[in-house]
A and B are shown apart, each in its own frame.
Chain A
Amino acid sequence: GQQLNQSPQSMFIQEGEDVSMNCTSSSIFNTWLWYKQDPGEGPVLLIALYKAGELTSNGRLTAQFGITRKDSFLNISASIPSDVGIYFCAGQMTAFNKFYFGSGTKLNVKP
């Protein structure tokens, strides 16, 4: 199956710091999605990207759909303790199809 390479695997940061993570694929995707998973719960959609080069924000979160359509980036500004969790990228190749997920970035924020 398709492999989405997500990095870093984990991050330990201080409250207030900015965070960046990225996801790359060997295949072209038509859609990139970013999810957050809180401990003991299912993933929740944060941002969806539908067009190469697109930059979309959701509060302190900003994500970009790479120009090559093979990568995506997520930035979190001014992190707070409730940002703790696992962040997953996901991609979909066509409008109706399977979803492929990255391995996740575990974020820890020290107050």
Chain B
Amino acid sequence: EAQVTQNPRYLITVTGKKLTVTCSQNMNHEYMSWYRQDPGLGLRQIYYSMNVEVTDKGDVPEGYKVSRKEKRNFPLILESPSPNQTSLYFCASSLRGRARDTQYFGPGTRLTVL
């Protein structure tokens, strides 16, 4: 089954404790992206990747890191999480990131930073 998977689905952590949220897709997509969803703000793009070893900042990249060492995986790293990073995070992928390529979203990771 074609899908985007994220782990963990729920995470509660404390300020400053490094964490990684994994994202994996099995559709051989070149384009992958991370979003955060906050009430009243919709989804905001954090980082995106056009292909392996090619990443670029989205609208809200501060406090986040990403890497794309393999085509299927695109982990999101919070080196020193803060409470304002409490949010619902979505990973997404599409064939090549073109407007005509359908973007498929993962199920989401709900992160709480205390």
Residue numbers of A with Cβ under 8 A of B are 1-2, 4, 6, 9, 30-31, 40-45, 48, 50, 88, 90, 92, 95-104
| CB-CB under 8 A for A1 and B44, given A95-B98, A96-B97, A99-B33 | yes
Contact B42 A1 (CB under 8 A): no
Interface residues of B in 29-55 (CB under 8 A from A): 33, 35, 40-45, 48, 50
Specify which of B45, B58, B98, B106 is in contact with A42 (CB 8 Å cutoff).
Answer: B106
- Interface band, chain B: 20 to 34
Smallest CB–CB gap between B64 and chain A, Å? 15
Residue B21 CB within 8 A of the other chain: no
| CB-CB under 8 A for A92 and B59, given A42-B108, A101-B42 | no
Chain B residues, Cβ within 8 Å of A99: 33, 45, 103
Q: What are 20 A-B pairs with beta-carbon distances under 8 A?
A: A2-B59, A6-B42, A31-B100, A41-B108, A42-B4, A42-B92, A42-B106, A45-B102, A45-B103, A48-B102, A50-B100, A88-B42, A90-B43, A92-B99, A95-B99, A97-B97, A98-B59, A100-B45, A103-B41, A103-B42
